[in-house]
A and B are shown apart, each in its own frame.
Chain A
Amino acid sequence: MKKLTSVKDLEIVGRECASEQLKKPKTITVCSETGCLTCGSSKLADAFESEIERQGLSGTVSLRRSACLGFCERGPVSIILPQKICYLQARPEDVPEIVQKTLGGNEIVERLVYKDTQTGVRLACVDDIPFYKHQMRLLLANNAVIDAANIADYFAIGGYSALGKVLAGIGKDEVIEMIKGSKLRGRGGGGFPVGIKWQTTKDAPGEPKYVIVNGDEGDPGAFMDRSFLEGNPHGVLEGLIIGGYAIGANEGFFYIRQEYPVALENVQLAIEQARKCGLLGKDILGSGFDFDVKIHRGAGAFVSGESSALMNAIEGNVGEPRPKYIHTSEKGIWDKPSCLNNVETWANVPLIINNGVEWFKGIGTEASTGTKVFSLVGKVNNTGLVEVPMGIPLREIIFSIGGGVPKGKKFKAVQTGGPSGGVLPESLLDLPVDFDELKKAGSMMGSGGMIVMDEDTCMVDTARYYIEFLAHESCGKCIPCREGLRQMLNILNDITSGRGKEGDIELLEELSETLQEASLCALGQSAPNPVMSTIRHFRDEYEAHIREKRCPARVCKELITYEIDEEKCKGCGLCMKNCPAGAVEQIDKKQFKINQTKCIKCGACFTACPEKFSAVVKKSGKPQEQAVAA
Chain B
Amino acid sequence: MNYSASEEEAGLPDKIALERDVAARLKGFDNHRRNLIPILQDIQDHFLYLAPEAILMVAEHIGIGASEVYGVATFYNQFRFHPPGRHPIKVCLGTACHVRGGDIILENFERKLGISDGETTTDREFSIERVACVGCCALAPVAVVDENIQGHMAPSKVEGIVLGYKIERDRIDRERENEPGEPA
Q: Which residues of A contact B (CB under 8 A)?
A: 34-35, 37-39, 72-73, 75, 217-223, 226, 258-261, 296-297, 299-302, 304, 313-320, 375, 377-379, 383-384, 415, 418, 449, 451, 453, 457, 462, 465-466, 469, 473, 475, 578, 580, 602-604, 607
Q: For the complex, what is the distance from the CA of A54 to the CA of B78, rounded to whole Å?
A: 46
Query: Are A299 and B99 touching (Cβ within 8 A)?
Result: no
Q: Provide the bound-state CA to CA distance between A435 and B154, in Å.
A: 37
Residue contact A34 to B95, C-beta cutoff 8 Å: no
**Is B77 an interface residue when CB atoms closer than 8 A count as contact?**
yes
Interface centre among A317, A319, A418 (most CB of B within 10 A): A317
Contact between chains at B37 and A316 (CB < 8 Å): yes
Which residues of the partner chain A approach B75 to less than 8 Å between Cβ atoms?
Answer: 301, 318-320, 475
B111 interface hit (Cβ, 8 Å): yes
Kindly provide the distance from the CB of A326 to the nearest chain B CB, expressed in whole angstroms: 20
Q: Which residues of B contact A72 (CB under 8 A)?
A: 136, 138-139
B43 beta carbon closer than 8 Å to chain A: no
Provide the bound-state CA to CA distance between A500 and B76, in Å: 34
A607 to B108, CA, bound (A): 13
A259's contact among B40, B104, B133, B155, by CB below 8 Å, is which?
A: B133
Question: What would be 28 A-B contacts, judged by CB atoms less than 8 Å apart?
Answer: A34-B135, A38-B136, A38-B151, A75-B139, A220-B96, A220-B97, A220-B98, A220-B132, A260-B135, A261-B147, A296-B38, A297-B41, A299-B78, A300-B77, A300-B78, A315-B34, A316-B34, A319-B75, A375-B137, A375-B138, A377-B138, A383-B96, A457-B99, A462-B99, A473-B132, A580-B111, A603-B101, A607-B154
Contacts of A465 in B (CB 8 A): 95, 98
Q: A378 and B100: CB pair below 8 A?
A: yes
Which residues of chain B come closer than 8 Å to A319, judged between CB atoms? 75-76
Across the A-B interface, the 9 shortest Cβ-Cβ residue pairs? A72-B138, A220-B94, A221-B95, A300-B77, A299-B76, A223-B135, A220-B133, A316-B36, A377-B137
Contacts of A38 in B (CB 8 A): 136, 139, 149-151
- Pairwise interchain contact B155-A604, C-beta atoms closer than 8 A: yes
Residue B140 at the chain A interface, CB threshold 8 Å: yes
Q: Tell me, rounded to whole Å, the shortest Cβ–Cβ distance linking A478 to chain B.
A: 15
What A residues does B99 contact at CB under 8 A?
378-379, 451, 453, 457, 462
Q: State whether A299 touches B37 (Cβ < 8 A).
A: yes
Q: Does B107 contact A (CB under 8 A)?
A: yes
Q: In the complex the two chains form, is B38's CB within 8 Å of A302's CB?
A: no
Q: Tell me, yes or no, whether B33 is within 8 Å of chain A by CB.
A: yes
What is the chain B residue whose CB lies nearest that of A72? Answer: B138
Q: Can you add 18 more A-B contacts, CB < 8 Å, to A259-B134, A304-B76?
A: A35-B138, A75-B138, A222-B137, A296-B37, A299-B78, A300-B77, A316-B37, A378-B96, A378-B100, A383-B96, A415-B95, A449-B137, A466-B95, A602-B107, A602-B108, A603-B104, A607-B155, A607-B156
Is B35 an interface residue when CB atoms closer than 8 A count as contact?
Answer: yes
Pick the most buried of A34, A315, A473: most chain B CB atoms within 10 A of its CB: A34
Chain B residues whose CB sits within 8 angstroms of the CB of A449 once the complex forms: 95, 137
Most buried by A among B77, B79, B107: B77
Quick one: closest A residue to B41, CB to CB?
A: A297
- Asked if residues B132 and A377 are in contact (CB atoms below 8 Å), the reply is no
A299 touches B79 (CB 8 A): yes
Known: A300-B78, A377-B96. A316 touches B111 (CB 8 A): no
List the B side residues contacting A302 at CB < 8 Å: 132
Q: In the complex, which residues of chain B have a beta carbon less than 8 angstroms from the beta carbon of A580?
A: 111
Kindly list chain B residues whose C-beta atoms are within 8 Å of the C-beta of A418.
95
Q: Return A75 CB to nearest CB of chain B, in Å.
A: 8
Residue B131 CB within 8 A of the other chain: yes
User: Which residue from chain A places its CB closest to the CB of B154 in the assembled complex?
Assistant: A607
A265 to chain B, nearest CB (A): 13
| Nearest-CB residue, chain A, relative to B74 | A318
Mark B37-59 against chain A: 1 for CB-CB distance below 8 A, else 0.
11011000000000000000000
Does B28 count as interface, using CB distance less than 8 angstroms? no
- Contact, CB under 8 Å: A316 / B132: no
Nearest-CB distance from B97 to chain A (Å)? 8
* B95:A378 contact, CB within 8 angstroms: yes
Q: Which residues of B have CB within 8 Å of A383?
A: 96, 137-138, 140
A229 to chain B: closest CB distance in Å? 10
Shortest A264–chain B CB gap in Å is 11
Residues of A within 8 A of B36 (CB): 316
Instruction: Find chain A residues with CB under 8 A from B134 CB.
Output: 259
Interface centre among A259, A319, A449 (most CB of B within 10 A): A259
Docked Cα-Cα span, A222 to B133, in Å, equals 8
Q: B76 to chain A: which residues have CB within 8 Å?
A: 299-301, 304, 319
Q: Which residues of A contact B23 (CB under 8 A)?
A: none
Q: Which partner residue on chain A sits nearest B95 by CB separation?
A: A221
Complex CA distance for A196 and B78, rounded to whole angstroms:
35
Q: How far is the CB of B2 from chain A (nearest CB, A)?
A: 20
Distance in angstroms between the alpha carbons of A217 and B134 in the assembled complex: 10
Q: Which residue of A lies closest to B76 (CB)?
A: A299
